[in-house]
Amino acid sequence: MAIISSFHGIEERIRRSPHGIQALLVAKTGPRVKDIIKLAEHEHIPIQHSSIAELDRITSNHKGILLLLDEQETLEQPDFYTWIHELKEKPYLVLILDHLEDPHNFGAIVRSSDIFAVDLIIIPNRRSVKHTDTVYKVSAGAASYVPIAEVANLRDAMQRLKNAGFWIYGADMKGSPITQVAFENRTALVMGTEGAGLSPLLKKECDEIISIPQFGHVSSLNVSVAAGIILYEITCRHLHKH
């Protein structure tokens, strides 16, 4: 069972679709809670009045209200192999996350991905951060809008993207400055894990290695910050072309 505990995350998930929602658990009152209850009632979502103790048994991180989701929530996300065969004649931006572990980083990246119109995020289905309440909360509801596909093999997914006309860029401190890169219409960006960065295997699959020019004393950026900067640069180039 998955849960969402933030007010904004609950609202955005209900607005997206009532499908996959088990119930809204309510243990407190207040203007924001009343608005959420009205929203849930409008979408015919079951509402259960609970106690704080009952919510605490599910998670200690709540504001007196929880949205319970089906265990199969992630199955509503797109199947990568179907998605890639249904591409249209337009620019695409895909983000590949190489075994990211921190849900806070994942949530922040999802939020940036929504802002910069990422078409798809690809994550491995093992040894990687998953869709959690923390991800929903940090993404400020963006997790309800950004398609996220899980695959068994990132290398295979990258090869399929190449076959579909994507140019794959890997983010690494030793790459070409992003200010000097001409991003292709079909762009896939690969971001490495928090500690080790890009794995050697995926690095070999990249068509080009890119980096963010830095001018300070600290020689590294948080992965979510770096992803946001590069996604902004790619989106600006795509907008300029079209």
Same domain? 12 vs 101 = no
Residue 53 shares a structural domain with residue 81 = no
Q: Are residues 93 and 29 in the same domain?
A: no
pTM (2 d.p.):
0.73
Task: Indicate the pLDDT class of residue 1, thresholds 50, 70 and 90.
Answer: low
Q: In this structure, what token pair is assigned to residue 47?
A: 């509402």
In this predicted structure, the answer to whether residue 170 has a pLDDT above a threshold of 60 is yes
Output the pLDDT for position 173. Answer: 87
Q: Strand pairing of 65-69 and 2-4?
A: antiparallel
Burial 156-168 (b: 16+ CB within 10 A, else e): ebbebbbeeebbb
| 61 shares its domain with 85 | no
Let me know whether 43 and 130 are in one domain. no
pLDDT at 241: 61
Q: 166 by DSSP, 3-state: which?
A: coil
Closest CA to 3 of 45, 78, 55, 75: 55
- Residue 48: domain span: 2-74
Average pLDDT for 123-136 = 76
Asked if residue 117 has pLDDT above 50, the reply is yes
How would you list the strands of the sheet with 65-69, edge to edge? 2-4, 65-69, 21-26, 47-49
pLDDT in tens, 179-208: 999 899 999 999 988 777 888 999 999 999
19 and 105 fall within a common domain: no
